[in-house]
Amino acid sequence: MSEPKRVHPISMFIDFISDAVSMIKNFIIPFFVLIFVNSNSSIRFYAFIILGVLLLWKAVSTVLAWRRFTYRMEDDEFRVESGVITKKKKYISLERIQTVNTSEGIFQRIFGLVRVQIETAGGTDGPEVSLTAITKAEAEQLKQSIFNRKKSLQQEEMNDENLDIPDPLTAQQPVEKEISVSYRMGIPELLLAATTSSGIGVIISGCLAIYTQIDEILPLDGFLKRFSFLSHASVEIYAILIFIAVLIAWILSVGVTALQYANFNAKRKGKDIIITRGLIERHQMTIPLARIQAVKIKENILREPFGFATVMLVSAGGSITEKETSSVLFPLIRKKKINELLTQFTDQYQLAPESELKKVPKRSLKRYLISYGFVPLLVGIILSVRFPPWGYLALIPLPFALFFGYLAYKQSGYVIKDQLIQLTTRGIGKTTGIVLRKRMQNYTMTQSYFQKKGRVASIHTFVKSSALLDSFGVHHLEEEDAARVCDWYSYETNQST
């Protein structure tokens, strides 16, 4: 692939639409005010002229950018040339390339094309290279060419290192059998995952954010006056309206989750895990086993009583713009089946039964109840004193907070098995992290003044996650247990052992 290539011409249209939507989204509020709220016709006219000029310039620059963008593989490098005004050349060593992921948006699927994103070690703001639209055959050829050549380079490097030190046992070692296993989420699991997802909170917070932005700019007084009769409505009417609003948000979250995880398929091929998902826009990402830093298991309050959980892979590399769903290995799975599949997909990671966890001591119960109940109690008291009798309703969250505090006390703990440590904690939902010792970036044991008096401590560990760090920890653990984990992690202790 030494000849420079261009992406498919439809990429001009896709990039133009994407850039135009991004531009309009950034300036939608001032343009909305100038065009629809403002009553001066001259200002409206000039606003339309400015918008048209911006869109015309974006269209011209998109065509020029497509003409100047080329890519090729040459001299063990992936080379990209681009730039409209300033010509840019980017040469990426094949050894630095971590993954080659593909996705199919609506326009790519119409023309039988895919988007290819190339990620390297240390990428932060996004993929190192993004090819908006190329044929599936070209994408597969590109992926195979990169990884075959990368494998050859690694093999040559290993041969050079072992050239002077022949190993007579190497020829006697059996060839490692390539593992191939797959997991597909069916329609019943998809519907259950969608209906029990926690996306309703995101929907509600998003609606509130939009409302606060619009309320600052648009005159909503007239709109609110039409519903002024609700100020005299009964409590039952308010309860019904709140129920309807929550129901609509739940339906939207179900739809969003179903679109994200439709056609979900995870398979292991040799040393790679390939995850495919999406209905309208299909995504495919490849995670090498060597990049896996930890396994995270999440159980929200809707799934936990029925024995279901979500299993995620914390992997190094990638970018901070990647969403959490990109690392989901099993969107919905029964806990009793996790070990069976996790062993087949990852080799080294296993979930220990909860009965083997070293739990926090009984004297930590009051600390969990205080940490969970203090803020709801304080807010409830203030509102009750300031706004009686309606302020008393602010005390309703208090028993729920104490209940979750008790659950956190009962379920928090750790267990060490050889080179694995498993840490379990919870906020509203339960989170379990399984980490290899060699993947831990650091280990921290902290003690406040009151914890020291109670002979307890909090422990935390961090692992690489995209361009950031992901953390796992347990609060108010027995002081001796925290020190025991420190000894297990300590390099000096392991060396002497």
Tens digits of per-residue pLDDT, 476-491? 999 999 999 999 998 5
Mean pLDDT for 409-421 is 94
Dig out the tokens for 108 from the structure: 């790519």
319 pLDDT tier (thresholds 50, 70, 90):
low
pLDDT for the residue numbered 466? 62
pLDDT for the residue numbered 105? 85
**Backbone phi and psi for residue 469, each to the nearest 5 degrees, phi listed first:** -125, 140
Residue 496: pLDDT over 70: no
Amino acid at residue number 52? G
240 pLDDT tier (thresholds 50, 70, 90):
confident
Question: pTM score, two decimals?
Answer: 0.77
Mean pLDDT for 88-103 is 85
| Helix ranges (DSSP H) in 69-199 | 106-110, 136-162, 187-195
Mean pLDDT for 88-96 is 86
Which has the higher per-residue pLDDT, 100 or 205? 100
Q: Closest Cα partner for 353 from 407, 292, 434?
A: 434
Please answer whether residues 387 and 376 qualify as being in contact, where contact means their C-beta atoms are separated by less than 8 angstroms. no
Q: Closest Cα partner for 420 from 444, 439, 392?
A: 439
Q: Which of 68-72, 82-86, 463-467 has the lowest mean pLDDT?
A: 463-467
Residue 406 host element (H or E): helix 397-411
Distance of CA 485 to the CA centre of its chain: 28
Mean pLDDT for 342-350 is 89
Residue 322: pLDDT over 60: no
Mean pLDDT for 177-193 is 79
Please report the DSSP string for 182-243 in residue order: EEE--HHHHHHHHHT-STHHHHHHHHHHHHHHHHHHS--HHHHHTTGGGGG--HHHHHHHHH
Mean pLDDT for 205-228 is 56
Q: For 198-207, what is each residue's pLDDT tens digit? A: 766 656 666 6
Which has the higher per-residue pLDDT, 381 or 196? 381
252 pLDDT tier (thresholds 50, 70, 90):
confident
Percent of the chain residues topping a pLDDT of 90: 31
Residue 497: pLDDT over 90: no
> Which of 149-158, 167-176, 262-271 is most confident?
262-271
pLDDT for the residue numbered 260? 84
- Beta strand pairing call for 282-288 and 292-299: unpaired
Which residue bears the tokens 């009051």? 366
pLDDT for the residue numbered 388? 84
Residue 12 host element (H or E): helix 10-32
pLDDT for the residue numbered 175? 41
pLDDT for the residue numbered 70? 92
SS3 content of the chain, % helix, strand, coil (to 5): 50, 25, 20
**Domains of the chain with bracketed CATH:** 10-157 (2.30.29.30), 183-346 (no CATH)
| Mean pLDDT score across all residues of the chain | 81
Angle, helices 365-386 vs 397-411, to 10°: value is: 170
- Beta strand pairing call for 328-334 and 358-359: unpaired
pLDDT for the residue numbered 162? 59
Q: For 40-55, what is each residue's pLDDT tens digit? A: 677 777 777 887 888 8
Please answer whether residues 320 and 492 qualify as being in contact, where contact means their C-beta atoms are separated by less than 8 angstroms. no
Please answer whether residues 490 and 474 qualify as being in contact, where contact means their C-beta atoms are separated by less than 8 angstroms. no
Residue 187: pLDDT over 90: no
Which has the higher per-residue pLDDT, 45 or 278? 278
Dig out the tokens for 443 from the structure: 């280990």
Dig out the tokens for 156 from the structure: 């040559």
CA 264/CA 287 separation, integer angstroms: 15
Residue 220: pLDDT over 60: no
> Which of 27-36, 181-190, 426-435 is most confident?
426-435
CA 335/CA 351 separation, integer angstroms: 9
pLDDT for the residue numbered 491? 57
